[in-house]
């Protein structure tokens, strides 16, 4: 048996990270561990802690060690096949919700939503959760795509865990899986790191990070294709380098292209 207070004191990783890792392992919250340093863990759990601790010491992200990450207040399961969702992408959920809500108030009776490159499903599933809590789910039609089948497995698992049934998950390159369809709202967080920067990240999947030599290969292709899939009055929300969220309307797109 080992006391929680001693485990945290002996840890060689940052205190906050140790707290997060240990609370994840013990399935409790951080404040409980701080309030009860006298709590004991059995030898099996301690040995698992040592493994987790050493993985973190070697540089592995905590989200992969624990197999989950919080996004938009929800817990998402993760595997090394998917990007760890970043807090800056939460802005896409907020803006998407605002757009859908305004569209419905303005008389649109069904909003067609597409997410390209869904990864763990964090963005679209958080949006569903928010729409559902406002009883708006019946008024949206949702599709999410990714080129990675393994990522889609994670997204589907997260949908089940969150009791979400309405999202159509389809595999393929950018818009290929939705050929012939048009949407009111298109969201995307595509790989946008320049190749040289992406390869320095040894934990997250290169397919989720690497945007080619300058980082803009996927985004440029996405922009070229997107105008054929956007309905008049539609909106495109996408993330670019540095976690900056940009938006384009049907009108601004038509002028650009
Ligand atoms: C930056 S991650 C974003 C994941 C998730 N949307 C998020 O914000 O956490 C990019 C995703 O794009 C997917 N991807 C890469 N190339 C793609 C392509 N050509 N078409 C569709 N998806 C692609 C990757 O598999 C990865 O899941």
pLDDT value for 169:
98
Share of the chain above pLDDT 70, in %: 98
256 has a pLDDT exceeding 70: no
CB of 241 within 8 A of CB of 215?
yes
At how many degrees (to 10) do helices 122-133 and 149-161 cross?
A: 20
Atom of ligand 1 nearest to the CA of 86: 9
Please enumerate in sequence order all residues whose Cβ is within 8 A of that of 20, keeping only pairs 6 or more positions apart, or say none. Answer: 30, 62, 66
Residue 251 pLDDT grade (very low, low, confident, very high; cuts 50, 70, 90) = confident
State the distance from the centre of ligand 1 to the C-alpha of 138, rounded, in angstroms.
27
Beta strands (DSSP E) in 96-229 are: 111-116, 140-146, 167-171, 183-188
Atom of ligand 1 nearest to the CA of 191: 1
Q: Can you list the alpha helix ranges (DSSP code H) found in 134-256? A: 149-161, 195-198, 206-209, 217-226, 250-256
239 has a pLDDT exceeding 70: yes
Please enumerate in sequence order all residues whose Cβ is within 8 A of that of 217, keeping only pairs 6 or more positions apart, or say none. Answer: 211
- Which pTM value belongs to this model? 0.95
Q: Give the Cα separation of 134 and 66 in Å (integer).
A: 31
State the distance from the centre of ligand 1 to the C-alpha of 144, rounded, in angstroms.
11
The two structure tokens encoding residue 108: 């649109």
pLDDT value for 212:
98
87 has a pLDDT exceeding 60: yes
- Which residue in 110, 117, 125, 124 sits closest to 163, CA to CA? 125
Neighbours of 25 (CB within 10 A): 19
Q: Give the Cα separation of 165 and 125 in Å (integer).
A: 10
- Whose C-alpha lies nearest to ligand 1, atom 26? 208
Q: Render pLDDT for 115-174 as a digit per residue (tens, 0 to 9).
A: 999 999 999 999 999 999 999 999 999 999 999 999 999 999 999 999 999 999 999 999
- Pick from 64-68, 77-81, 246-250: least confident: 246-250
3-state secondary structure at position 60: coil
Residue 254 pLDDT grade (very low, low, confident, very high; cuts 50, 70, 90) = low
The domain ranges of the chain are 2-59, 80-256
3-state secondary structure at position 3: strand
Pocket of ligand 1 (CB under 6 A): 82-83, 85, 89, 116-120, 122-123, 145-148, 151, 173-174, 189-191, 207-208, 218
Q: Give the Cα separation of 35 and 207 in Å (integer).
A: 42
Using CA atoms in the order 211, 216, 222, 223, what is the torsion angle rounded to 10 degrees? 170
Mean predicted confidence (pLDDT) in 227-252: 93
Q: What is the mean pLDDT of the chain?
A: 96
Q: Render pLDDT for 5-60 as a digit per residue (tens, 0 to 9).
A: 999 999 999 999 999 999 999 999 999 999 999 999 999 999 999 999 999 999 99
pLDDT value for 257:
46
165-194 core/surface letters (b: 16 or more CB in 10 A; e: else): eebebeeeebbebbeeeebbbbbbbbbbbb
Residue 209 pLDDT grade (very low, low, confident, very high; cuts 50, 70, 90) = very high
Q: Which CATH number fits domain 80-256: 3.40.50.150, 2.60.40.420, 3.30.530.20, 3.40.309.10?
A: 3.40.50.150
What number of CA atoms fall less than 13 Å from residue 125's CA on the CB side? Answer: 29
State the distance from the centre of ligand 1 to the C-alpha of 162, rounded, in angstroms.
21
Q: Give the Cα separation of 228 and 86 in Å (integer).
A: 29
3-state secondary structure at position 193: strand
């Amino acid at each position: 048996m080992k006391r929680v207070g001693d485990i945290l004191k002996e840890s060689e990783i940052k205190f906050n990270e140790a707290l997060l890792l240990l609370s994840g392992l013990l399935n409790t919250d951080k404040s409980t561990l701080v309030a009860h340093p006298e709590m004991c863990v059995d030898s099996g759990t301690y040995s698992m802690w040592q493994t987790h601790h050493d993985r973190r010491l070697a540089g592995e992200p905590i989200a992969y060690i624990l197999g989950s990450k919080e996004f938009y207040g929800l817990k998402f399961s993760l595997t090394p096949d998917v990007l760890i969702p970043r807090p800056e992408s939460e802005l896409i959920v907020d803006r998407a919700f605002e757009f859908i809500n305004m569209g419905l108030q303005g008389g649109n009776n069904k909003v067609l939503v597409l997410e390209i490159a869904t990864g763990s499903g964090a963005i679209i599933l958080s949006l569903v959760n928010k729409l559902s809590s406002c009883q708006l789910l019946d008024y949206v039609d949702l599709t999410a795509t990714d080129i990675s089948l393994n990522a889609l497995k994670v997204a589907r698992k997260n949908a089940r865990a969150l009791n979400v049934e309405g999202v159509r998950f389809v595999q393929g390159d950018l818009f290929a899986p939705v050929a012939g369809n048009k949407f009111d709202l298109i969201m995307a967080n595509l790989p946008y790191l320049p190749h040289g920067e992406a390869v320095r990240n040894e934990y997250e999947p290169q397919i989720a990070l690497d945007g080619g030599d300058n980082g803009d290969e996927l985004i440029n292709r996405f922009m070229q294709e997107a105008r054929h899939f956007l309905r008049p009055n539609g909106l495109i929300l996408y993330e670019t380098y540095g976690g900056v969220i940009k938006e384009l309307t049907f009108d601004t797109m038509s002028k650009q292209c």
